A and B are shown apart, each in its own frame.
Chain A
Amino acid sequence: MQVNRSRENLEAAGITVVGIGFSPQPQLDALAKELGLHFPLHADTARDWYRALAFPPGRWRAVLAPRILRRYAVGLLHGEGLPLSRTDLRQLGAGALLRQTEIVQAWVTDESERRPSIAQLIHAAGGASNHR
């Protein structure tokens, strides 16, 4: 995960990372451990954050892209179940940069694998600093 690898750069820009997942906390804890995340993951099974940021659901052509379906197929081969019963398939990645309690900037992806780059985050952080 890009933000995990770039922790030092983000910290230098004054950015602390927090992850929000929509799976139950035990699954997120396992995921954080497997990925070796340097930031905490919190469960938001009610998807409060998505509603709060007014992020729309992903388009089906993005959600059911061949590469995503391939991953589900590989997951099934490895004994992993489909996520149908525990999450929203149309939930895409998103993020928001907060300055204390204020939302500085928010991003929602049109494709399931895209997120703001570290450079974009740091640029937004710089903009936020200039507006203090």
Chain B
Amino acid sequence: MSPAAQAHTNRPPPIGGRVRTGPLLRSIAPVPSTSDTERLPSCPSWHTALMAHQSRPNDIDAAQERNMPPTTATQIRADLWQRIAQDVAGAPLTYVILLRHPG
């Protein structure tokens, strides 16, 4: 496996290494219910993820009509979203993992 490939893999914390005291992982969005979707723009803990849409409430309606995630409707290219949708057709849940550098 090349170093570039290794860089994409998850690794356990170093054993015997320096203890990290800060938060290692931040979850930036709560688990909203479908019925909560309409209230998301006013939910403080959801604010970060929906920040771009709070100033454009009409985009959320457009997203639902287009069957796309509310936060991504206007920002993810349709062709990319379609490829993902084909991969996950029928799946109840999808984990979209964003690779980090190096690409």
Residues of A that sit less than 8 Å from B by CB: 1-3, 10, 13-23, 27-28, 31, 34-35, 39-44, 46, 48-55, 63, 68, 71-72, 74-75, 78, 80, 83, 86-116, 120-121, 124-125, 127-129, 131-132
A90 to B24, CA, bound (A): 17
Q: A43-B80, A51-B52 are in contact. List 7 more A-B contacts (CB 8 A).
A: A1-B8, A1-B10, A16-B93, A19-B98, A71-B4, A72-B3, A112-B101
Is there an interface contact between A20 and B97, defined as CB atoms closer than 8 Å?
A: yes
Contact status of A80 and B92, CB under 8 A, knowing A52-B75, A87-B101, A131-B32: no
SS class of chain A's interface: helix, strand, loop or mixed? mixed
| Nearest CB on A from B47, distance (A) | 9
Is there an interface contact between B100 and A34, defined as CB atoms closer than 8 Å?
A: no
Complex interface residues of chain B between 34 and 81 (CB less than 8 A to chain A): 34, 36-37, 48-52, 63-64, 67-72, 75-77, 80
| Nearest CB on A from B51, distance (A) | 5
1/0 per residue B8-38: CB within 8 Å of A? 1111000000001011111111111110110
| Nearest CB on A from B19, distance (A) | 14
Number of interchain pairs (Cβ within 8 Å): 240
| Nearest CB on B from A76, distance (A) | 9
Output the residue of B27, B29, B67 with the most chain A CB within 10 A: B29
A21, A34, A97, A124: which contacts B99 (Cβ < 8 A)?
A: A21
Is there an interface contact between B93 and A75, defined as CB atoms closer than 8 Å?
A: no
Is there an interface contact between A113 and B2, defined as CB atoms closer than 8 Å?
A: no
A34, A39, A54, A106: which contacts B1 (Cβ < 8 A)?
A: A34
Is there an interface contact between A52 and B80, defined as CB atoms closer than 8 Å?
A: no
Is there an interface contact between A19 and B99, defined as CB atoms closer than 8 Å?
A: yes
A80 to B78, CA, bound (A): 33
Residues of chain B with a CB closer than 8 A to A28's CB: 99, 103
| Nearest CB on B from A39, distance (A) | 8
Closest A residue to B37 by beta carbon equals A102
Is there an interface contact between B87 and A20, defined as CB atoms closer than 8 Å?
A: no
Is there an interface contact between B49 and A103, defined as CB atoms closer than 8 Å?
A: yes
